[in-house]
Each structure stands twice: as C-alpha cells, then as structure tokens.
C-alpha cells in the first residue's frame, strides 16, 4: 500500500514537468471542446491528433490523448444539460433530467453537480488503476500464448456486447476487421499478403486512415444530411455554486455512480456508455419517488455523469495491465502506444514505470484542470455552440486531410481515407457499427501471432486452448458473455437500455 503511494509520488514528479502539464492541459481543453461540439467524438479526435503527437515524447503524447478521452466526458454533459444535445453518447441519459433542470432555471446546479460528480468519480477511478494495475500486470506476466489468444477473444467478444443491434452482425464486423488487419507483411515469413501489389500497403493498412475514414469523415457526411437545426440556448446560468441541500441530495447518486462506473469500466463489454445508462436505471429504481425522474431529478444527472467518468478512467486498466483494449477508444490507445514504440501489456508497469505512474498522476491533475475548465469558463464553451456547422465541417475536413497525410507524408493514405469513408458511410446505412471492426483490426495481428505460436508449442493440438486453466477460464467467460447477449431475456433488456 505504502509502495503504491511512493510510486504515485514519483509519478507526480514526472507528470508535473511544465512540458507534461502543458500537454495535459491541451488534452483536457481539446477533450472539453469536442465533448461540447456534437458530431465529433473522442475516437475521431484522438485519431486526428495522433499524427501530431508523433514528434512528442511518448509520455506527453499519451497524457494528452487520454486527456482528450476523459475530458470529452466532462464536455459532453455541458451540451446535454444546456441545449438537450448530448455531445457524446455517454451523456445521452444526462440530457433527460439535466435539460429539464435547465428549463426550470437550475442549469448552474446541474452543471456543478455534473462537474463535481465527474471529478470525484475520475479521481476514484484513477486510484483504482493505481491499486489494481501492478497486481493485475504481475498476474498477466504468467500468461503464455494460448492465454493471450483467449484474452484477445474475450476482448473481441466485449466489442460485441458494446455494439448496438444484432450480435451476429457485430461478430461479422469483427471478422471483417480481423481480415483487414491481415493486410501487409506476414510477421513470420516477411511475405506480402493481400497488398494487391501496392508497396504502400506492405506495412499494413494505415491505422489513422482507417479510423479517420470510418469514424471522422463518415460522421461529417452523416451530419451534412438534411437541414441543420439551429441550436438555441435559452437557459441562463446564474450561479454555478450548488446549495448544501442539492449537494446532500446528489451525494448518494455520485457514490453509487462512481462504483458502477468503476466496475463497468474494468469489465470487458462494459464501457462508459453502458455505465451511464445503468447508473440512471439504478437511480430511478431505488428512488423513493421515481416520477421525479424525467422532471429534473438531480440524481439523474449526478449518477450517470459520475459513472461515465469513473468508467472512462478504469477502462485503462485492461489496456495498461494486459494490453487488450475493451473499447474503440482504447483500441486507439493501443495504436498510439505502438506508434511510439511501446508494446501495450503487462511489461509497461515494470519496464516503463515513468510512463505508467506519470500517466496516472496526470489523470489526477487533468481531472482537477477539467473542473476549472468546465465550471468558471462555462460561458466560453456555450458560445462555441454558436459556430455553425457549415463552417465547422470545412475545418474538420481540412484538419482530417492534413492529419492523415502527415502520418507518413503520403498521398496514398489520403486516398485510403476516401475508401474507408465510403465503407464507413455504407456501414452506417446498413446499420452496422464500425467499432467492432476497429477492435478486430487492431487486435488482428496479435490474435494471429498468438494463435500461431500456441499451435506451434502444442504441436498442432487445438486442445492447448482448453488445457491451460487461465485460457479455459477466459474462453468460458467469453462464451458466457456471448450466450448472454443472444439469450432472449437479456437481449430484451439490452434493447431497452439502448432504446431509452
């Protein structure tokens, strides 16, 4: 226990250099910005800024990119409360009661509780990473290739759970992603695979081009469909300081939301969105008077906002300790770490303690910065909503193009983005989610590597995956998760949750 705190102290020393503090602030501001702006999610933004971090020191880069992710959780609630437009999917439920509160002239109260709840949850989630990280990493170090393979399977299955809609189609998207991940040089023989004779593809499909096309540009096109609605903001914010009575009322919801979010973030198939939905459902269920919900109940803001922030922090646990991403954003972090020559996995903590503890310390600092960025400066963010989309989309398009181009300074990557945008747009129209595809794409090479290694060591016996206890357990959990989605009773509940 004492050990953790001394290491954390070391982390603060690393994170508090002017350089790292600056990039932490940049990440937090960018995150708030995209959280406020609807139609630009953290996945697209992180991929957008990925090339720009190339010149940075790895720690500064990761600090900034993770700041964008958890910063977006703060910003998303602002628009949800003020104008009933959730900036992020994680803030969808916040809009239900938050907007009602704003209409009743209690916008300041709602914003303050959202920010305070987020801060408490964010700090608690970060503490959980610090406490759970080292023992989990130690455990993962004992993993052999079959265990890793099964772990990846679990990671992929979690992408199915997260996806909205039919599980079968989500699985097919994973396989499409896995196949796309195979493009490029074969790791063992060095032979070019599925490159269609293009030298540009020998290193594989450019990650940034894929993400930017599927998530960023395809999203822009979707937003341009139809006529844009002018956002009108009626609610005035008079005081951002909540009364003691409000604080007392929200306290329980913040605590429960934080715990739910912490657990959902770690679990495969959890994630911030589901955590916020579950927290809302729980608050409604245990409330003495459930009819208050939907009419401006403070718990309906406090619970989900705490849950999504706690989950945003703890979803770093599987990534930093086992090297598996449990969401599309974490898949991007794998890409970011790899870009900087760091293999995500259990070795990060022991081999790069500066990176691990520095990142954790930066999360505490970042959460503190976010409260300041979001509360006293709320007026600036609200004014940003007045920038019309007809100007914004031009800016996004140009930054995307430069971003993709600058990864390898290659026009080919820009053309690839065009292709993936088309694919992303078609998938949208087919109601297929691109997130499982991204998970498959990122994990593809690792899945193949561990599959091949496992079968070589077991002399071709596929039972190797079932004979090792760790591997067997992981596969059983995956199977149980998959079955639970297909089961009619759970399926019905899942539809309800997504439909709300």
- Using CB under 8 A as the binding rule, whether residue 500 contacts another protein is answered as no
CA 322 to centroid of chain Cα atoms: 17
- Using CB under 8 A as the binding rule, whether residue 23 contacts another protein is answered as no
Note whether 77 and 114 are within 8 A (CB): yes
Q: Which helix (H) or strand (E) holds 193?
A: strand 192-193
Q: How far is the CB of 207 from another protein (least distance, A)?
A: 17
For another protein, the closer of residues 261 and 445 by Cβ is 445
For another protein, the closer of residues 294 and 462 by Cβ is 462
- Using CB under 8 A as the binding rule, whether residue 5 contacts another protein is answered as no
| End-to-end CA, the chain | 42
- Using CB under 8 A as the binding rule, whether residue 203 contacts another protein is answered as no
- Please give the torsion angle defined by the CA atoms of residues 286, 289, 292 and 294, in that order, rounded to the nearest 10 degrees: 50
Stretch that binds another protein, among 131-139, 216-224, 266-274, 306-314 (CB under 8 A): 216-224
- Residues 388-407 touching another protein, rule: CB under 8 A, are 388-391, 393-395, 397-398, 400-402, 405-406
Helix, strand, coil percentages for the chain (3-state, nearest 5): 75, 0, 25
Kindly tell me which residue out of 432, 438, 446, 474 binds another protein, with binding defined by CB under 8 A: 432
- Using CB under 8 A as the binding rule, whether residue 411 contacts another protein is answered as yes
For another protein, the closer of residues 221 and 481 by Cβ is 221
Q: How far is the CB of 55 from another protein (least distance, A)?
A: 6
- Using CB under 8 A as the binding rule, whether residue 430 contacts another protein is answered as yes
Q: How far is the CB of 42 from another protein (least distance, A)?
A: 21
Note whether 168 and 491 are within 8 A (CB): no
Applying CB under 8 A, what is the total number of residues that bind another protein?
A: 64
Q: What is the DSSP string of 426-458?
A: HHHHTT--HHHHHHHHHHHHHHHHHHHHHHHHT
- Using CB under 8 A as the binding rule, whether residue 229 contacts another protein is answered as no
Give the Cα separation of 334 and 62 in Å (integer): 10
Note whether 153 and 175 are within 8 A (CB): no
For another protein, the closer of residues 255 and 408 by Cβ is 408
Stretch that binds another protein, among 5-13, 148-156, 332-340, 417-425 (CB under 8 A): 417-425
Helix-helix angle 92-103:272-286, to 10 degrees:
50
For another protein, the closer of residues 164 and 352 by Cβ is 164
Residue for token pair 């503090």: 21
Give the Cα separation of 490 and 263 in Å (integer): 19
Closest CA to 177 of 482, 403, 465, 427: 427
Q: How far is the CB of 312 from another protein (least distance, A)?
A: 28
- Using CB under 8 A as the binding rule, whether residue 220 contacts another protein is answered as yes
Kindly tell me which residue out of 431, 486, 490, 496 binds another protein, with binding defined by CB under 8 A: 431
Kindly tell me which residue out of 234, 245, 285, 459 binds another protein, with binding defined by CB under 8 A: 459
Kindly tell me which residue out of 69, 357, 451, 465 binds another protein, with binding defined by CB under 8 A: 451
Stretch that binds another protein, among 130-138, 193-201, 317-325, 363-371 (CB under 8 A): 193-201
Note whether 334 and 103 are within 8 A (CB): no
- Using CB under 8 A as the binding rule, whether residue 224 contacts another protein is answered as yes
SS3 269: coil
Q: How far is the CB of 29 from another protein (least distance, A)?
A: 15
Q: Which helix (H) or strand (E) holds 185?
A: strand 184-185
Helices (H), 84-106: 92-103
- Residues 132-191 touching another protein, rule: CB under 8 A, are 168-169, 171-172, 175-176, 178-179, 182, 186, 188-189, 191
For another protein, the closer of residues 193 and 492 by Cβ is 193
Give the Cα separation of 87 and 229 in Å (integer): 15
Give the Cα separation of 233 and 84 in Å (integer): 9
- Name, in order, each residue with C-beta under 8 angstroms of 496's C-beta and a sequence gap of 6 or more: none
Kindly tell me which residue out of 1, 2, 227, 232 binds another protein, with binding defined by CB under 8 A: 227
Note whether 161 and 485 are within 8 A (CB): yes
Q: How far is the CB of 398 from another protein (least distance, A)?
A: 5
Kindly tell me which residue out of 4, 52, 131, 368 binds another protein, with binding defined by CB under 8 A: 52
- Using CB under 8 A as the binding rule, whether residue 289 contacts another protein is answered as no
- Using CB under 8 A as the binding rule, whether residue 441 contacts another protein is answered as no
| Cα–Cα separations (whole angstroms), residue 479 to 145, 157, 351, 440, 483 | 19, 8, 33, 17, 6
- Using CB under 8 A as the binding rule, whether residue 228 contacts another protein is answered as yes
Helix-helix angle 328-339:42-49, to 10 degrees:
10
- Name, in order, each residue with C-beta under 8 angstroms of 213's C-beta and a sequence gap of 6 or more: 416, 417, 418, 419, 420, 421, 422, 423, 424
Give the Cα separation of 497 and 234 in Å (integer): 30
- Using CB under 8 A as the binding rule, whether residue 497 contacts another protein is answered as no
Instruction: Point out which residues bind another protein (CB under 8 A).
Output: 52, 55, 168-169, 171-172, 175-176, 178-179, 182, 186, 188-189, 191, 193-194, 196, 217, 220-221, 224-228, 388-391, 393-395, 397-398, 400-402, 405-406, 409, 411-412, 414-415, 417-418, 421-422, 425-426, 428-432, 448, 451-452, 455-456, 459-460, 462
């Amino acid at each position: 226990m004492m050990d953790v705190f001394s290491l954390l102290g070391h982390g603060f020393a690393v994170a508090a250099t002017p350089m790292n503090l600056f990039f932490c602030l940049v990440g937090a501001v960018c995150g708030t910005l995209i959280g406020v702006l609807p139609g630009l999610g953290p996945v697209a933004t992180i991929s957008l800024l990925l090339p720009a971090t190339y010149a940075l020191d790895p720690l500064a880069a990761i600090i900034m990119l993770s700041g964008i992710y958890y910063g977006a959780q703060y910003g998303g609630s602002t628009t949800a409360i003020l104008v009933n437009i959730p900036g992020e999917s994680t803030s969808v439920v916040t809009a239900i009661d938050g907007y009602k509160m704003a209409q009743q002239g209690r916008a300041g109260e709602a914003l303050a509780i959202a920010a305070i709840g987020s801060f408490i949850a964010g700090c608690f989630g970060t503490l959980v990473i610090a406490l759970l990280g080292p023992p989990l990493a130690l455990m993962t170090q004992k993993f052999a290739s079959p265990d890793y393979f099964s772990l990846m399977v679990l990671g992929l299955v979690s992408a199915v759970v997260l996806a909205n809609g039919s599980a079968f189609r989500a699985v097919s998207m994973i396989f499409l992603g896995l196949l796309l991940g195979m493009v490029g040089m074969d790791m063992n023989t060095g032979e070019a695979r599925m490159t269609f004779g293009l030298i540009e593809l020998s290193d594989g499909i450019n990650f940034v081009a894929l993400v930017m096309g599927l998530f960023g540009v395809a999203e822009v096109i979707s937003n341009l469909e139809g006529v844009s609605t002018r956002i009108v903001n009626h609610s005035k914010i008079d005081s951002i300081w909540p009364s003691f009575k409000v604080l007392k009322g929200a306290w329980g919801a913040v605590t429960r939301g934080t715990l739910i979010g912490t657990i959902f973030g770690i679990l495969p198939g959890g994630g911030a969105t589901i955590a916020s939905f579950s927290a809302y459902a729980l608050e409604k269920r245990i409330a003495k008077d459930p009819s208050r919900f939907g009419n401006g109940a403070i718990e309906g803001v406090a619970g989900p906002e705490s849950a999504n922030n706690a989950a945003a922090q703890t979803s770093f646990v599987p990534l930093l300790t086992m090297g598996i991403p449990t969401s599309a954003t974490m898949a991007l972090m794998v890409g970011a770490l790899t870009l900087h020559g760091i293999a995500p996995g259990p070795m990060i903590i022991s081999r790069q303690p500066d990176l691990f503890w520095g990142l954790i310390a930066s999360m505490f600092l970042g959460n503190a910065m976010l409260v300041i960025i979001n509360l006293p400066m709320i007026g600036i963010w609200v004014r940003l909503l007045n920038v019309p989309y007809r100007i914004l989309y031009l800016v996004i398009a140009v930054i995307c193009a430069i971003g993709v181009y600058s990864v390898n300074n290659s026009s080919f990557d820009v053309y690839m983005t065009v292709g993936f945008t088309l694919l992303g747009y078609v998938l949208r129209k087919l109601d297929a989610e691109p997130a499982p595809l991204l998970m498959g794409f990122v994990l593809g090479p690792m899945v193949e590597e561990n599959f091949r290694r496992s079968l070589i060591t077991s002399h071709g016996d596929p039972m190797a995956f079932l004979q090792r206890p760790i591997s067997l357990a992981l596969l059983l959990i995956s199977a149980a998760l998959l079955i639970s989605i297909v089961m009619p009773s759970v399926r019905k509940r899942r539809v309800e949750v997504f439909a709300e």
